[in-house]
Structure 1
Amino acid sequence: MKNGTVFVSGTFNVLHPGHLRLLKFAKDSGERLVVGVLSDRVAGVAAHVPQEFRLEAVKMHAIVDEAFLIDDSVNDAIRKIQPARVVKGKEHKTKDNPEQEAVDSYGGKLLFSSGDVVFTSLDLIRREMAIQEPKTITLPIDFMARRGVSKKSLSLLLSKMKDTQVVVIGDTIVDEYISCDPLGMSEEDPTIVVTPISSKKFIGGAAIVAAHAASLGAKVKYFSVVGNDESAQFCRDELTKFNVDHELIVDDARPTTLKQRFRSRGKTLLRVSHLVQRSVDEPIQKSLVASVKNACANADLLIFSDFNYGCLHQNVVDQLVEIATKNKMRIVADSQSSSQIGDISRFKNADLITPTEREARLALRNTEDGLVVIAQSVCLSAEAKSVTLKLGEQGVLLHGRWGKDWETDQIPALNSAPHDVAGAGDCLLVATSMAMTVGANMWESGLLGSLAAAIQVGRVGNTPITQNELLHELAE
């Protein structure tokens, strides 16, 4: 019998709160949680989702140490691994439990969890399928007619993106979403008390920008600074999975930026950021410049993805802009200012900058002028050729040189029912800049970027956009 090992088995069509509480109870009952997922053959008609997807969903939860498919009987699996404890839901306590015989054979224990949420994965599947949402993404027909943009021309631009050589540099971030169950109010002080059920991590910051570019077909080289920690290794694994060639320079004096969001019932209760905002030391700056310089020798596009956490010191930015300009590369910059303060105008001579309205006004210290004046002013301040001014639910304002003259137009938000706005700006940045690099004009590239953002906000989690997703919307 393996001391400290706890075993749970089931079909797991969709991981609902009842499953998460069961797994949390099991994990708290021992040191190592092993989960057996019934194969399609064993589950029979109870399997409504293919076994590979059910197994992958269970494996992705941080609380699970090991998961495998059960293609024989559950009792055979129990006898083989001999866990110290086997856990089932409380609703099984008064029923026949064949697992009891298996655990008795080697001296194990059968436990029943408490606090079960009584509904099934099938209930969730049926409920979700019953809600047939209408198509929420709509192309801006008036804009396309006004600017001579067609679905065919956009599809052609996407086909040209394959094997584009892209260099991305910026701040690496790991985003962790921690789902919690509310327990109530503390009696000692007015504090909400929760218990964590599960957590999921995503690469964020400039790392997801690099992943978006690779997913759209580019050959990507990514450069950043990370700490010597678990989050850095997570980033390396994820970047490798997304086919991003990466060089992450280790700075022992700082952690990899980790942003944790504690959520309950669809609401964020608290955000905790583990980070250092000071600039990286001069030796690391020199290493970054040297590495990126070599990568720029045969590249088409340089993307600065700045979150103002210290990776992009001004000396680094200035040297890389000079290198990229000499190599006749396209230069695109985004500098985010949410809880931190940034300045998009410090990225000089860019072909495109993509600030929000707030970020542009911060850079200009201008809270009064209209949008067109702000767009023009931030372009002149940054010595940029064009700007995509992000306006949230109002879409984007495109402003730039068309021949000798400056021109302006607006694309409305294309998704009428967004689910999660996280990552919209990253998608827009990548799709717009890659389209521009393969020959798109300001209107074509802006529309492709807006379409990518519309697809991204239609799902939960910042995951790489694909060409097939864009082509599907253009084929509608």
Structure 2
Amino acid sequence: MNKQVLVQGNFDILHPGHIRLLRFAKECGDKLIVAVNSDKSMGSKSRVNEQHRLEMVQSLECVNEAFLSDLTPAETVKSLKPHIVVKGKEFESRHNPEHALVEMYGGKLIFGSGEFESNSEQYITRTISHGHNLDYKKCQSYATRHQFDYQSINTIFSQFSENRVAVIGEIIVDEYIQGTAVGLSQEDPTIVMTPDRADTFLGGAAITAGHIKGLGANQVTLFSVLGKDDKADYVKNHINAYNIDTILFDDGSRPTPLKSRYRAGNKTLLRVNQVRQHKISKEIQTDLYMQLESSIHNFDLLVFSDFNYGLLPQTLVDKVIALCNENNVRVVADSQTSSQVGDIARYKDMMLITPTEKEVRVALNNIDDGLPILAQKLCEKANPTSLVITLAGEGIFIHLPDQNGHWENDMLPAINRNAVDPAGAGDCFLAASSLALCSGATPWQAFYVASIAAACQVDTLGNQPLSFTTLQQRVLESFKNI
């Protein structure tokens, strides 16, 4: 049965107490209906236009339906006959004419306390910052040093739409459980939290493809494998929003990867990964390769977005690289080693690889050397045209080897001073830098653009494809004081 819940009020100023009450009301049933008292019914009490008040309520994710009402709360209840009516705790000791009405047809009147939730503001919007955390001062000397300006970058931007891109890698479903940290458990030293909401995003290779398309690529095709489960259904139902083509294979031997992050405020308390890491079957490998082989002439760039969950065995990687080389398709790679084991050095002769410092040290089994030596040793082993070592909050280290055994190094500091959510920065950096390189950018230009793109990504909670307009605007801002 679809339980309808009714809340009625003025909502003159939409404050956290309202949001908590409405969230509580939503949890009491299936459909939350909010009656916003009209200007006519409020008389002189109305300080904000009724249309504005209605729009504010409609903007809340927990509200299924909202409308303006000239009726009293009792008259609204009599008209709609909701299963549940929710009012604030302060009304519990007052006369409530709705009480008798709802009892007549078997409904309930519930008083919500509007308990404190530190994340109430997130019911209004997922994006907490809008570029205000970006600090370009430290990177301006980089642009001067490498002799490029906004006009040269804008010329590169104009070529983004000429690129046709294939992305191969694991699709991940990212779940964010936002809550309030209650305190420490009395039984053991464990943080106790109360979940307030859950948001779900597409991650992994899906967001890499989404970024590339969002930044303006002509065509993006994603090759991946999904389990036969509800998360796979979620992916198939939501991937179309990215405007990318997909070639997906079902594999009943593994679940669709799910990463759940439990957060309080802007901090992640715990991450739970539900994955299996065995290799995909030879049959799926063959089918995937044949699909790629039949369409390889449609691509200018191929991106390996490897999370080391078994989608890219070495034999398949080697065949795909050889296929790309035969057809003059440029190739870039990122191979993640966070909670799993990977080896970025297995991707040979790439146009670009973008490992973290940890991923470089794992690939080389080296905990002693500094970044310049690490970079050179990795280049000797993997032979990329360009290497960027990402350093999280410290920015990036750039290493460009040449054919004579020499190299150039440089660094770009992190541009975002206060990351809202650091997850996905590497995927966004890979997407923007590879697209820029294929559009005629020098490595120095490409990594400047990609650093700003990554700074935009971590300015938002969860994975959302970065738009070309946003990136172009932020890059323009970065040159204003040069």
| Number of the residue aligned with 2:113 | 114
| Number of the residue aligned with 1:45 | 48
**Equivalent residue letter for 1:55:** Q
Identity of aligned residues (%): 38
Superposed displacement of residue 447, structure 1: 0.8
Superposed displacement of residue 422, structure 1: 1.5
Superposed displacement of residue 194, structure 1: 3.5
Structure of greater relative contact order (alpha carbons < 8 Å, 6+ residues apart): 2
Q: Secondary structure at the match of 2:355?
A: coil
- Of stretches 84-93 and 16-25 in structure 1, the one that deviates more from structure 2 is 16-25
Conserved? CA contact 1:13–1:121, under 8 Å: no
Tell me how far apart the structure 1 counterparts of residues 435 and 76 of structure 2 sit (CA, whole Å). 51
| Number of the residue aligned with 2:415 | 414
Deviation track 1:54-78 (CA, whole Å, cap 9, x = no partner) reads 53541xxxxx5x7123144575775
Superposed displacement of residue 256, structure 1: 0.7
Q: Secondary structure at the match of 1:162?
A: helix
What is the TM-score with the length of structure 1 in the denominator?
0.86
Listed as ranges, the gaps of 5+ residues in structure 1 are 59-63
Superposed displacement of residue 418, structure 1: 2.7
Listed as ranges, the gaps of 5+ residues in structure 2 are 41-45, 478-482
Q: Secondary structure at the match of 1:45?
A: coil
Conserved? CA contact 2:379–2:401, under 8 Å: no
| Number of the residue aligned with 2:171 | 172
Q: Secondary structure at the match of 1:297?
A: helix
Tell me how far apart the structure 2 counterparts of residues 331 and 307 of structure 1 sit (CA, whole Å). 17
Give the 5 Å matches for 1:44-443.
45=48, 55=58, 57-58=60-61, 67-72=64-69, 78=77, 81-94=80-93, 100=99, 103=102, 106-114=105-113, 116-117=115-116, 136-138=135-137, 140-183=139-182, 191-218=190-217, 219-401=219-401, 405-443=406-444
**Equivalent residue letter for 1:67:** N
| Number of the residue aligned with 1:36 | 34
Q: Secondary structure at the match of 2:161?
A: coil
Superposed displacement of residue 263, structure 1: 2.1
**Equivalent residue letter for 1:82:** K
Residues paired across the two proteins, number:
463
Tell me how far apart the structure 1 counterparts of residues 78 and 153 of structure 2 sit (CA, whole Å). 58
Conserved? CA contact 1:21–1:197, under 8 Å: no
Superposed displacement of residue 141, structure 1: 2.2
- Of stretches 106-115 and 271-280 in structure 1, the one that deviates more from structure 2 is 106-115
CA separation of 1:20 and 1:305: change in aligned 2, threshold 3 A: farther
Conserved? CA contact 1:216–1:465, under 8 Å: yes
**Equivalent residue letter for 2:66:** L
Superposed displacement of residue 336, structure 1: 0.9
| Number of the residue aligned with 1:61 | none
Superposed displacement of residue 428, structure 1: 0.8
**Equivalent residue letter for 1:281:** S
Tell me how far apart the structure 2 counterparts of residues 363 and 40 of structure 1 sit (CA, whole Å). 65
Deviation track 1:172-192 (CA, whole Å, cap 9, x = no partner) reads 111111123445555666654
Tell me how far apart the structure 1 counterparts of residues 38 and 292 of structure 2 sit (CA, whole Å). 49
What is the TM-score with the length of structure 2 in the denominator?
0.85
CA separation of 1:370 and 1:191: change in aligned 2, threshold 3 A: closer
Conserved? CA contact 2:419–2:458, under 8 Å: yes
Superposed displacement of residue 383, structure 1: 2.2
Q: Secondary structure at the match of 2:337?
A: coil
Superposed displacement of residue 234, structure 1: 1.8
Tell me how far apart the structure 1 counterparts of residues 78 and 107 of structure 2 sit (CA, whole Å). 10
Conserved? CA contact 1:436–1:445, under 8 Å: yes
CA separation of 1:425 and 1:96: change in aligned 2, threshold 3 A: farther
**Equivalent residue letter for 1:146:** R
